[in-house]
Every structure is written in structure tokens, then in C-alpha cells.
Amino acid sequence: MTEHGRSRWRLVLISSPLQGHMTPMLQLGSYLHSRGFPITIVHSELNRPDPSNHPDFVFFSLPNNLSGTGVSSGIIQFLQALNDNCRPHLEKHLIQIINTQKETSEKESIVIIYDNLMFFAGSLAGDLGLPSIILRSSCAAFLPAYRIIPQLHLEGRFPIQGNNSRTPSIQIQRSTF
């Protein structure tokens, strides 16, 4: 295990259950594990990873209580419910680890690496005094879109309510590089 002073680092990776988010997190975990870091993968019950594919990782499932709340109810509502429901379970788990370490001579410094869609992890890490790193698994084109979504929402143009001809289209200007 990679050591820092007298304590070891334990990396806790928290991924969104949405397609395209878990794979980069597991790849990062595999790379970091190859460098000697112990890895804990925290995931929701939705789209859970297969632990047999990563036998050296510790997997911790967060009950998400999402019955009745799906992506079809709106991505913002879905992500908020996911974050609200997962936070107390991770908080309890991390506090238990921290308290258990107080009773032993072997210490592990916990570092939280979390998917930007699992924003509760950043605030929880701050509340517990743990370092945290955000992993954005989105492509570079997502950032400009992410910035404009609130404006489109205020203008009533997002989310699109149907495919009729009166729905305003978003004009994208081409620029030459």
C-alpha cells in the first residue's frame, strides 16, 4: 500500500450509475491500484459493477431508494434524488471507518475521488475534513453545454417538451479555427 508518512492512503472512488461514468472510474481505480493504492468503489444499487471483474477492490453499495424516480422524471430530479438518498449511507460508512481507525495503530488516510454528478461526495468530504478530487468523465464538448443549460431552462427552451415545429431550435455559430 502506498504510504504517506506513517499512514497509508485509501482511495474511495464514487461513480455515477449513468452509462459512461462507471467504466472510466473503474479504469482509474485499476491504474491507481497498479501503483499500490487500495481502492474502494462506492456505487449505487442502480447499474452496479461486477465485483468479480476487480477482485482486489472493495465494493460498497449505497442504497439509493429510487423507486418511482427515474431518469424519465427529469435528469435534474433524478440526480438530486440520487445524491440526497446516497449521502447518509456513505457518511455513516466513512464515519465508521474513521472511528475504527482511531482504535488501531494502522492508519489510512482516506481520499475521495468522485464523479461530478455525485456532488454530495464533495460536500461530505469537506464536512469530514477529507481531501477530494472530482473526476469528470464527460467529453470536452459537455462543458459548454453544461454552462448553457440553466439559461435555456430559464428561457423555457430546456427540456424540450416535444418535437413539434414550433419548438425553437438552438442556433450554433460555426467558427473557423
- 3-state class of 7 per DSSP? strand
Catalytic, 93? Answer: no
Is-catalytic flag, 4? no
| Structural element, H or E, at residue 10 | strand 7-14
Which residues lie across from 114 on neighbouring strands? 14, 134
Grid coordinates belonging to 91: 457518511
Catalytic, out of 4, 21, 33, 127: 21
Alpha-carbon span 126 to 119, nearest angstrom: 11
Residue 36 CA to its chain's centroid (Å): 22
Q: Which of 93, 115, 127, 153 is the catalytic position?
A: 115
Q: Are strands 7-14 and 3-4 parallel, antiparallel or unpaired?
A: antiparallel
How far apart are alpha carbons 89 and 69 in whole angstroms?
18
**Residues catalogued as catalytic:** 21, 115
